[in-house]
């Protein structure tokens, strides 16, 4: 009764023409502080095709094509020729829908007046592959660990239900109970994402590279939720090491985005020293490297200054993890990436290299922050670490980091390890650093071929986002992920994966796999940041076998527009349009 009186009072005020400002607020100030807001956008997508029907006779699945009509999100009192699922005492009907590309979000179901009350129970399965929608939780790696992607719900007689929150492209809906009929007016995917523009761009005469660049950008975009996640199905967490390739993609495509500092701050607040971020010593080092790169691209000195006390304390802690011979002695979980995790010599080589890179970055940052004491500790630590140079241990991960740190020449690492065996023994995470090391060795063409033949093969299997891991051997007799697996073909999602990502648990949208996006912009389009905040950038294109490339690059001052065309003599003709405040060093190259 109190609610009815309040609503009546509000109606009388409105009809009397009283200004809304005179109405009492719904929440007082104390209550408002308990409200959590989000900057995410929701849109409703219609399925693009039907992948599979349990019954093609028209007896148990009727009017299936109606579900491909755009919905309005509203139930009504009219019956219609809507999708009808019917079960008997023996068989239960179902359908698999394809929404065209991987998204993050859930499902909206609108039921018809033609149903019983309630309409009945359905089982819903989200999948990053068709095979995953046909799996059972707990079998072949399929899981509800981080996002519920396999569950049963009761649908209303006549109404609207929103369910699910995961990463998916495909959805399977099955009747649960025998002798049931359920009529579905609409089924829409709820796409939840940051509505931010793609300020950076990349286009060249090789459409495969263009698609790879955009797929990397889109993969990270999906993971830019309120925080920056590693994956939208799994793990949906802030893993600091995973963030580094993601942040480089954000710098390249989206520019300054609040998810980055928010996630960096969360990691700092959750990790009182002497603990390591995410329990992994290298991830605390990645936090420092991200701080350096974020400042260099965005130039936010106020934000950097807020990190000073934690940054300097962390650098002091890391300085205690070097023995008298200059060898790193890091504790916690000793980790680079999963494929290298069993090669302890490679892990040591990578950690030794990361220590050098971290103290080099620390010296830069502490000099900017006017902390001469810590800057000097960083300089001395680098000198000490350079007394111990590990072997590459036959590992492309180790070779890449040894190159980036300067402990081993890039030319040596490329010739002896990185350029061997094509894209075998690459990884989606550390593939980014392998590409960078090959560029340092001047082997731009070799890196471009790696991108085509490694990341491109995921696209050949139907991927619309890049995966947590991928081995080129998986291509042998592989079925596409967007189809029912044909007899005699291999379901790559069910059959492969290792460590924490076996079978269907494997994430098919992992931001750490986006490396080609920032690499192509930096080395092919040719954009390198020379001074913090992009006050000075260098344009030095390396087209390899490409004929032309054009694109854009976001800076705090606006977007730089760039185009390069290879001339008959191999020289490059460039056109660069930079906003005021950005100094451009234009380096001409003869390819």
Please indicate, yes or no, whether residues 252 and 302 belong to a single structural domain of this protein: yes
**Rounded Cα–Cα distance for residues 572 and 542 (Å):** 9
Which H, E and C letters describe 366-385, residue by residue? Answer: HHHCCCHHHHHHHHHHHHHH
Q: Is the pLDDT of residue 315 over 70?
A: yes
Same domain, 287 and 181: no
Is 353 found in the same domain as 420?
yes
Q: Does residue 24 register a pLDDT over 60?
A: no
Rg (CA), the chain: 27
Q: What confidence score (pLDDT) does residue 472 get? A: 98
DSSP state of 243: H
Of all residues in the chain, what percent carry a pLDDT higher than 90? 92
Q: Is 60 exceeded by the pLDDT of residue 513?
A: yes
Q: What are phi and psi of 228, to 5 degrees?
A: -90, 110
- The pLDDT confidence band at residue 348, using thresholds 50, 70 and 90, is very high
pLDDT of residue 7: 43
DSSP state, residue 322 = B
Instruction: For residue 501, tell me if it sits in a domain.
Output: no
Which of 149, 173, 194 finishes a domain? 194
Determine whether 196 is exposed, middle or buried from the number of CB atoms within 10 Å of its CB (0-12, 13-18, 19+).
middle
3-state class percentages of the chain: helix first, strand second, coil last, to nearest 5: 40, 20, 40
Q: With bands split at pLDDT 50, 70 and 90, how would you rate the model's confidence at 35? A: confident
pLDDT tens-digit readout, 238-260: 999 999 999 999 999 999 999 99
At residue 18, does pLDDT exceed 50?
no
Q: Are residues 317 and 428 in the same domain?
A: yes
- Full domain range(s) for residue 301: 201-468+507-524
Q: What is the mean pLDDT of residues 315-329?
A: 98
Average pLDDT, the chain: 94
Residue 351 lies in a domain: yes
Whether 327 and 283 map to the same domain: the answer is: yes
DSSP classification of residue 254: T
The percent of residues above 70 in pLDDT, for the chain, comes to: 94
Query: Given this model, what pLDDT does residue 34 score?
Result: 77
Average pLDDT over residues 414-418: 98
Classify residue 526 as left (phi > 0), alpha (psi -120 to 50) or beta. Answer: left
Q: Say if 394 falls within a structural domain.
A: yes
Q: Torsion angle, CA of 574/576/582/587, rounded to 10 degrees?
A: 0
- Model pLDDT, residue 416: 98
pLDDT at 10 over 70: no
Burial 149-184 (b: 16+ CB within 10 A, else e): bbeeeebeebeeeebbbbbbbbbbbbbeeeebbbbb
CB 286 within 8 A of CB 240: yes
Confidence of residue 587 (pLDDT cuts 50, 70, 90): confident
Q: Mapped to the 3 state alphabet, what secondary structure does 571-586 carry?
A: EEEEEEECCCCCEEEE
Q: What is residue 346's predicted lDDT score, i.e. its pLDDT?
A: 98
- For the stretch 211-233, pLDDT in tens is 999 999 999 999 999 999 999 99
Query: Quick one: pLDDT at residue 27?
Result: 62
Is residue 500 in some structural domain? no
Q: Is the peptide bond before 536 cis (omega within 30 degrees of 0)?
A: no
- The enclosing domain of 368 has a CATH number of 1.50.10.10
Query: Into how many domains does the chain fold?
Result: 4
Q: Is the pLDDT of residue 427 over 80?
A: yes
Q: Is the pLDDT of residue 349 over 60?
A: yes
Q: Is 216 in the same domain as 182?
A: no
**What is the average pLDDT across 432-441?**
98
591, part of any domain: no
SS3 517: helix
Distance CA 94, CA 133 (A): 11
pLDDT tens digits along 439-484 = 999 999 999 999 999 999 999 999 999 999 999 999 999 999 999 9
- Whether the per-residue pLDDT at 33 is higher than 80: the answer is no
Summarised one tens digit per residue, pLDDT across range 544-573 is: 999 999 999 999 999 999 999 999 999 999
Residue 31: its pLDDT value, please? 63
pLDDT at 326 over 60: yes
Question: With a threshold of 0.85, does the pTM exceed it?
Answer: yes
**For residue 142, is pLDDT > 90?**
yes
Residue 272 and residue 284 in contact, taking contact as beta carbons nearer than 8 Å: no
> Does residue 149 sit in the same domain as residue 58?
yes
Q: Which of 346, 512, 536 is nearest to 427 (CA)?
A: 512
For residues 172 and 53, is the Cβ–Cβ distance under 8 A? no
pLDDT value, residue 588:
66
Average pLDDT rounded to a whole number, residues 484-493: 97
Q: Alpha carbon of 10 to those of 13, 19, 414: distances in Å?
A: 5, 11, 73
Q: Are residues 81 and 10 in the same domain?
A: no
Residue 480 falls inside a structural domain: no
Which tokens sit at 239? 């893993």
Spatial neighbors of 526 by CB under 8 A, at least 6 apart, are 538, 539, 540, 541, 542, 562, 564, 587
Domain identity same for 265 and 387: yes
121 lies in the same domain as 8: no
Confidence of residue 32 (pLDDT cuts 50, 70, 90): low
Average pLDDT for residues 412-440, to the nearest whole number? 98
CA quadruple 472, 475, 223, 517: dihedral, nearest 10: 60
Q: Report the CATH number that the domain containing residue 174 is assigned in CATH.
A: 2.60.120.260
Q: How many helices (H) and strands (E) does the chain have?
A: 18, 16
Residue 445 and residue 397 share a domain: yes
- What lies within 8 Å, CB to CB, of 274 at 6+ separation is 317
Calpha distance 50→65 (Å, rounded): 8
User: Is 576 within a domain?
Assistant: yes
How far apart CA 360 and CA 292 sit, in angstroms, is 10
Residues 35 and 87 reside in one and the same domain = no
Residue 387 CB-density burial (10 A; 0-12 exposed, 13-18 middle, 19+ buried):
exposed
Residue 358 in domain: yes
| 591 band by pLDDT with thresholds 50, 70 and 90 | very low
CA-to-CA dists, residue 422 to 418, 447, 470, 505, angstroms: 8, 10, 14, 28
């Amino acid at each position: 009764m109190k609610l009815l009186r309040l609503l009546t009072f509000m109606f009388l005020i409105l009809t009397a023409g009283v200004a809304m400002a005179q109405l009492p607020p719904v929440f007082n100030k104390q209550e408002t502080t308990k409200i959590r807001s989000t900057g995410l956008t929701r849109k409703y997508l219609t399925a693009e095709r039907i992948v599979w029907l349990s019954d093609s006779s028209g007896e148990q699945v009727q009017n299936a094509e109606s579900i491909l009509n755009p919905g309005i999100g509203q139930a009504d009192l009219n019956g219609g020729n809507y999708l009808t699922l019917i079960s008997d005492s023996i068989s239960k009907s179902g359908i698999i829908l394809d929404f065209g590309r991987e998204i993050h979000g859930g499902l909206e179901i609108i039921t018809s007046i033609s149903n019983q009350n309630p309409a009945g129970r359905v089982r819903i399965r989200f999948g990053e592959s068709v095979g995953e929608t046909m799996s059972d939780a707990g079998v072949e790696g399929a899981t509800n660990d981080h996002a519920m992607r396999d569950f049963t719900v009761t649908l209303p007689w006549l109404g609207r239900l929103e369910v699910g929150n995961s990463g998916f492209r495909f959805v399977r809906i099955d009747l649960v109970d025998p002798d049931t009929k359920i009529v579905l007016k609409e089924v829409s995917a709820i796409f939840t994402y940051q509505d931010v523009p793609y300020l950076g761009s990349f286009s060249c005469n090789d459409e495969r590279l263009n698609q790879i660049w955009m797929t990397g950008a889109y993969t990270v975009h999906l993971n830019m939720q309120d925080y920056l996640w590693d994956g939208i199905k799994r793990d949906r967490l802030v893993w600091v090491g995973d963030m580094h390739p993601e942040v480089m993609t954000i710098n390249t495509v989206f520019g300054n985005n609040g998810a980055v500092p928010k996630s960096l701050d969360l990691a700092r607040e959750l990790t009182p020293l002497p603990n390591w971020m995410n329990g992994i010593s290298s991830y605390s080092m990645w936090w420092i490297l991200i701080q350096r790169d974020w400042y260099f691209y965005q130039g936010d000195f106020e934000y950097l200054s807020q990190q000073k006390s934690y940054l300097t304390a962390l650098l002091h802690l890391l300085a205690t993890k070097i023995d008298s011979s200059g060898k790193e002695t890091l504790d916690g979980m000793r980790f680079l990436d999963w494929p290298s995790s069993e090669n302890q010599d490679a892990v040591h080589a990578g950690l030794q290299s990361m220590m050098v890179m971290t103290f080099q970055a620390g010296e830069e940052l502490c000099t900017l922050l006017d902390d001469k004491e810590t800057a000097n500790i960083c300089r001395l630590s680098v000198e000490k670490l350079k007394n111990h140079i590990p072997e590459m241990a036959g590992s492309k991960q180790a070779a890449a980091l040894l190159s980036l740190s300067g402990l081993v020449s890039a030319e040596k690492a490329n010739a002896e390890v990185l350029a061997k065996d094509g894209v075998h023994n690459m990884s989606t995470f550390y593939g980014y650093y392998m590409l960078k090391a090959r560029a340092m060795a001047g082997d731009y063409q070799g890196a471009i071929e790696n991108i085509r033949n490694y990341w491109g093969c995921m696209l050949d299997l139907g991927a619309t986002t890049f995966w947590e891991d991928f081995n080129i051997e998986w291509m042998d007799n592989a079925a596409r992920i967007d189809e029912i697996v044909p007899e005699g073909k291999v379901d790559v999602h069910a059959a492969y994966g290792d460590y924490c990502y076996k079978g269907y648990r494997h994430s098919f949208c992992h931001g750490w796999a986006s490396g080609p996006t920032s690499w192509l912009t930096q080395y092919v389009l040719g954009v390198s940041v020379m001074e913090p905040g992009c006050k000075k950038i260098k344009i030095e294109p390396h087209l390899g076998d490409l004929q032309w490339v054009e694109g854009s690059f976001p800076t705090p001052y606006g977007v730089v527009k760039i185009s390069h065309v290879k001339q008959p003599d191999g020289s490059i003709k460039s056109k660069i349009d930079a906003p005021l405040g950005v100094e451009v060093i234009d380096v001409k190259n003869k390819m």
